Amino acid sequence: MSNLLHRLGRSAATRPWVAIGAWVVLATVVIASSAAFGRELEESFDAPGLDSYQAAEMLADAQSDEGGVTAHVVLEAPDAATQVAPVEAALEELPHVLSTTSTVSTDGTIALVRVQYPAVGQIDASDLDHLKDAVADLHDEQSVTLEAGGDLFFAFEEAPTGLGEVAGMVVAMVVLLIAFGSFVAMGLPIGMALFGLVIGITSMKLVTYLIDIPAWAPELAAMVGLGVGIDYALFMVTRHRENLALGMPVAEAAGRALATAGQAVIFAGGTVVVAILGLLVAGIPFVTGGGVAISAMVLVMVLASVTLLPALLGLAGHRINGRRRTPYQASNGWTRWGAHVTRHATAYLVGAAVLMVGLAAPVLALNLGFPDDGTKPESRTERRAYDLIAEGFGPGANGPLVIAVDVSRNESVLAPLAAAVAADPGITSVSDPTVDLAAGVATLVAQPTTSPQDEETQQTVARLRSEVFPAVLDGSDATAHVGGQTATFADLGDRVQERMPRFVVAVLLLSFLLLTVLFRSVLVPLKAVVMNLLSVGAAYGVLVMVFQWGWAASLIGVESTVPIVSFIPLFLFAILFGLSMDYEVFLLSRVREEYRRHGDNTRAVIAGIAGTGRTITAAALIMVAVFSGFVLGSDPVVKMMGVGLATAIFLDATVVRLMLVPATMKLLGDANWWLPGWLDRLLPEVDAEPVEVAMAQAPQAS
């Protein structure tokens, strides 16, 4: 592989405009095709097999209004009862509105209008715009307080973005400028990452021809794509500058950078893709679609790193060093650090392990669910509507349970079932049933006593299914299922907990095999897997501390404790496991180069730290900056991803990569590179790098 990459890098650097032109043509084709033929991204959170999914299917078959999307418009006034009629009438005139119902609080000051829309696939963001415009006009006409929220906002509202991403990019530019001391060297990683980002994002509307991509996937893919794109380019540019400092011509320096660091980029990116595609075993369609979208973005960044970036390096020439053209010097600071850790290996191993396990311990209290509108800032109309509904009608009114009953063979069970549901301690009221005789489906709307995100609401849903329904329906031909958004997210949490073990095992095995092939070792991949598990576990623990326990939550704009979004652990594990492998691959690739050169394990570990310490630290700072930028948004889901990713990358690049890894490798000694002969013969050879390519490398300058 090294020979092939060496030739590819030299060719791209020698004829840069060929590679650049090819990427420009590709970008033009992708953008034009997406605009002309791209399909809309999927808004659904459906997961076949769940009880809530069966309820949704029954409601759709019966063409029940309750199977669609609901919006809430809340009116507050001293005489709300007399002012709600014109509001309801105006809302009924909006496009795609199926029906409206209104309720007034017992004190007459708050009125709630529920606006029913068809299923999410039959409406779009313009319906939300129409609703907002109508509410604004009614507010001006009625001179009363009007707020809006509900499922329609969840489906189509785009949280304000931009400030966080810009802040993250600014920090990344500053870090690169300090690390390289050159505007050209700083600009190449940023430019390549942004170029890859444009192609990756626009391609998603084309990927939908193969698999449904959720509407929120582009933002998550952008978060990951920016991080890995800048990181991969950073490692390549660093190695290229080392080669230039050793006196190589520009094209040769780029070729050898691709043969060494580029190989690490391919395997690091491959590990990220493998880890994220492990989401396929979760069996949740929208999770799988999100994983495919992120993997496609990472793949674009890897391809750009090994084809476009060498061309840009060739085009930049010696300008990439700016005014710094001094000979390459050893990193005394990182060399001393590596020597210090290896001298006190046992102490660092024990101390760092205790810290990581301590941070991971809160994961035992992990509560999966979904934040409701009550967690949003008070500046958002959804939050104000949520508070008014809770004040006037109780917290459960913000997340009613929609019960679909198959009464095609036995309608007599409907009345006792409604009575049994109403008698449950977790239910405050049940609507009169509506029956579709043709479809044989009856619908009950039950209001819980607790809010949608409350754990007691999840318990109520579980109790209805396991105790209330069987007590009434056993022995009859009727069946009942609990649906609605609240039940759907509770079910997703259960599905995640059920599928998480096999997903984790699949990712661990695939990553272990990939690293075994790369490093020709058993213990090095095993150690990498265990330490990356510590990084992911620590990220989970921090999420519990911040979002569930509220520690320092106000610092990032979280106004109340919330459960961890049900699918966040899956995505975090896949993404973090893959990203943490990046640093593992880059560090161990340098250590392995040194060990193959002279066979001294301790010396190789110190040289590996010296050669990659500053680069890994800079890369981690960039990742943390990019991910932290997403914490500045208002969406708690995006905040969770930002906090989890930033925390894990910070810990992985500091505690794990600069303490645990060198300490463990020192204590294992030559056993690090042990591989049974029979296994060596079975594994494919991917690192047949010639002596002239695997040349001696000076340690990284500090």
**Structure-token pair, residue 618:** 């800079």
**DSSP assignment string, 660-691:** IHHHHHHHHGGGGG---HHHHHHSPP-----T
Looking at per-residue pLDDT, the higher value among 370 and 232 belongs to 232
- Indicate the pTM of the whole model: 0.79
Which segment of 118-122, 395-399, 429-433 scores lowest on mean pLDDT? Answer: 118-122
**Structure-token pair, residue 633:** 């948004």
**pLDDT of 176 above 90:** no
**pLDDT of 641 above 90:** no
Element (H, E) at 482: strand 479-483
Residue with tokens 């326990």: 549
Rounded distance between C-alpha atoms, residue 636 and residue 644, angstroms: 12
Residues 170 and 281 both lie in one domain: yes
Residues 183 and 295 both lie in one domain: yes
Q: Give the domain-ending residue among 294, 322, 350.
A: 322
Task: Give the pLDDT mean for 59-71.
Answer: 76
Task: Give the pLDDT mean for 52-74.
Answer: 83
Which segment of 34-48, 160-174, 210-224, 471-485 scores lowest on mean pLDDT? Answer: 160-174
Task: Give the pLDDT mean for 532-556.
Answer: 90
Residue 56: give the domain boundaries: 51-156
- The CATH number assigned to the domain holding 460 equals 3.30.70.1430
Tell me which DSSP letter residue 547 carries.
Answer: I
Rounded distance between C-alpha atoms, residue 204 and residue 211, angstroms: 10
pLDDT score of 687: 54
**DSSP assignment string, 27-46:** HHHHHHHHHHHPPPPB----
**pLDDT of 62 above 80:** no
Q: Give the number of other CB atoms < 10 A from CB of residue 248.
A: 17
> How far, in Å, are 193, 442, 501, 536, 663 from residue 580 at the CA level?
19, 51, 20, 9, 18
pLDDT tens digit sequence for 555-603: 887 877 888 888 888 888 888 777 777 778 788 888 888 888 888 999 9
Task: Give the pLDDT mean for 176-199.
Answer: 87
Task: Give the pLDDT mean for 132-142.
Answer: 87
- Cβ atoms 138, 121 nearer than 8 A: no
Identify whether 589 is part of a domain: no
Q: Give the domain-ending residue among 296, 322, 348.
A: 322
Rounded distance between C-alpha atoms, residue 688 and residue 680, angstroms: 14
At 499, the pLDDT band (50, 70, 90 cuts) reads confident
Strands (E) located in 84-138? 99-104, 110-117
Residues 149 and 168 both lie in one domain: no
**Structure-token pair, residue 674:** 């042990």
- How much of the chain, in percent, has pLDDT values that exceed 90? 38
Q: What is the dihedral of CA 276, 282, 285, 286, to 10 degrees?
A: -50
pLDDT score of 460: 95
- Cβ atoms 206, 34 nearer than 8 A: yes
Rounded distance between C-alpha atoms, residue 507 and residue 281, angstroms: 10
Residues 133 and 199 both lie in one domain: no
Residues 175 and 309 both lie in one domain: yes
Identify whether 333 is part of a domain: no
pLDDT score of 498: 85
pLDDT score of 11: 92
Task: Give the pLDDT mean for 142-152.
Answer: 87
- The CATH number assigned to the domain holding 27 equals 1.20.1640.10
Q: How many domains are contained in the chain?
A: 3
Rounded distance between C-alpha atoms, residue 169 and residue 527, angstroms: 33
Q: Give the domain-ending residue among 156, 181, 200.
A: 156
Identify whether 533 is part of a domain: no
pLDDT score of 163: 60
Residues 196 and 294 both lie in one domain: yes
pLDDT score of 696: 40
Residues 175 and 262 both lie in one domain: yes
Rounded distance between C-alpha atoms, residue 529 and residue 577, angstroms: 8
Residues 140 and 206 both lie in one domain: no
At 361, the pLDDT band (50, 70, 90 cuts) reads very high
pLDDT tens digit sequence for 643-688: 988 898 899 888 998 899 999 999 999 999 899 988 888 888 765 4
**pLDDT of 132 above 90:** yes
**pLDDT of 636 above 50:** yes
**DSSP assignment string, 307-343:** IIHHHHHHHHGGGGGTT--PPP---HHHHHHHHHHHH
> How far, in Å, are 64, 410, 437, 547 from residue 440 at the CA level?
11, 9, 5, 43
Identify whether 305 is part of a domain: yes
Beta bridge partners of 214: 42
pLDDT score of 327: 42
- How much of the chain, in percent, has pLDDT values that exceed 70? 94
Q: Which of 622, 528, 536, 534 is nearest to 584 (CA)?
A: 528
pLDDT score of 306: 92
Residues 256 and 302 both lie in one domain: yes
**DSSP assignment string, 492-529:** HHHHHHHHHHHHHHHHHHHHHHHHHHHH--SHHHHHHH
Rounded distance between C-alpha atoms, residue 492 and residue 494, angstroms: 5
Q: CB-based burial of residue 87 (10 Å sphere; 0-12 exposed, 13-18 middle, 19+ buried)?
A: buried
Which segment of 103-112, 177-186, 415-424 scores lowest on mean pLDDT? Answer: 177-186
Identify whether 104 is part of a domain: yes
What ranges in 143-284 are assigned the alpha helix state H? 151-156, 163-180, 183-207, 217-245, 250-257, 263-277
User: Phi and psi dihedrals of 413, rounded to 5?
Assistant: -80, -10
Rounded distance between C-alpha atoms, residue 286 and residue 99, angstroms: 29
**pLDDT of 17 above 60:** yes
- Cβ atoms 73, 101 nearer than 8 A: no
Looking at per-residue pLDDT, the higher value among 178 and 362 belongs to 362
pLDDT score of 699: 37
Tell me which DSSP letter residue 114 carries.
Answer: E
Residues 208 and 131 both lie in one domain: no
Q: CB-based burial of residue 623 (10 Å sphere; 0-12 exposed, 13-18 middle, 19+ buried)?
A: buried
**DSSP assignment string, 346-386:** HHHHHHHHHHHHHHHGGGGG--EE---GGGS-TTSHHHHHH
- Please tell me which of 72-76, 215-219, 497-501 the model is most confident about, judged by mean pLDDT: 72-76
Identify whether 683 is part of a domain: no
- The CATH number assigned to the domain holding 137 equals 3.30.70.260
Residues 305 and 178 both lie in one domain: yes
Identify whether 251 is part of a domain: yes
Mean pLDDT over each residue of the chain, to the nearest integer: 86
Q: Which of 545, 655, 532, 627 is nearest to 584 (CA)?
A: 532
**Structure-token pair, residue 378:** 């008070």
Q: Which of 560, 596, 618 is nearest to 673 (CA)?
A: 596
Task: Give the pLDDT mean for 399-409.
Answer: 89
Rounded distance between C-alpha atoms, residue 270 and residue 528, angstroms: 15
Per-residue burial over 367-385, b if 16 or more Cβ lie within 10 Å, else e, is ebbbbbbbbbeeebbbbbb
Residues 127 and 172 both lie in one domain: no
Rounded distance between C-alpha atoms, residue 154 and residue 123, angstroms: 13
What ranges in 544-684 are assigned the alpha helix state H? 568-598, 601-629, 636-651, 661-668, 677-682
pLDDT score of 164: 61
Rounded distance between C-alpha atoms, residue 387 and residue 374, angstroms: 7
pLDDT score of 331: 63
Identify whether 267 is part of a domain: yes
